[in-house]
């Protein structure tokens, strides 16, 4: 009898289970955007340039696996009910993975055009956070609640991380 397939969400390997949930193209970028407070389908679509059917599938899968939760709201016209997608505790717990990808990407890749780099900053003092999460100015470990991201190609403003619901 053959063992579970690689990437099986119920298999014995935790890396395989994580890849089954997180390994689809766009999934980590959807989680990145939810981490900085993006919550509406149209926001994800506009920022990522992703096809509706792919985005719908990724959001459905993230809700199904408990990383996002859906909350209904009425659109601006007051007519149609839509859903917002908010991070759960499990979704918020992806932050160390995003940090690792940030560190790796900053070290081993570069943008096609010269641009100021993304920064993870301490909201209290604005100082860039060191790998591992410490603030060199304050000498404290920066928690999720104290962290913000600066994406200068989008805006010079620091974006606080979204809380888990």
Amino acid 74: pLDDT:
84
Mean pLDDT in order along the chain per 10 residues (165 residues): 55 92 96 97 97 98 97 82 95 96 92 90 95 93 96 93 94
pLDDT of residue 79: 79
Provide the pLDDT for residue 80. 85
The pLDDT score that the predictor gives to residue 121 is: 96
Q: Is 8 in contact with 20 (CB distance < 8 Å)?
A: yes
Domains of the chain by range and CATH? Answer: 1-93 (1.10.10.10), 94-165 (no CATH)
CB 55 within 8 A of CB 44: yes
What's the token pair of residue 161? Answer: 């991380």
What proportions of the chain, in percent to the nearest 5, are helix, strand and coil? 35, 20, 45
């Amino acid at each position: 009898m053959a063992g579970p397939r690689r990437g099986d969400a119920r298999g014995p390997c935790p890396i395989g289970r994580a890849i089954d949930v997180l390994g689809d193209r766009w999934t980590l970028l959807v989680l990145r955007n939810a981490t900085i407070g993006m919550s509406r389908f149209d926001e994800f679509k506009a920022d990522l340039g992703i096809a509706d059917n792919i985005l719908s599938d990724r959001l459905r899968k993230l809700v199904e696996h408990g990383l996002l939760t859906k909350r209904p709201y009425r659109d601006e016209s007051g007519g149609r009910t839509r859903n917002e997608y908010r991070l759960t505790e499990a979704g918020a717990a992806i932050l160390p993975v995003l940090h690792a990808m940030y560190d790796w990407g900053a070290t081993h890749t570069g943008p096609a055009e010269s641009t100021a780099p993304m920064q993870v900053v301490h909201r209290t003092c604005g100082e860039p956070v060191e790998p591992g999460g410490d603030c060199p100015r304050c000498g404290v470990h920066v928690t999720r609640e104290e962290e913000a991201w600066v994406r200068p190609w989008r805006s010079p403003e620091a974006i606080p991380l979204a809380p888990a619901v």
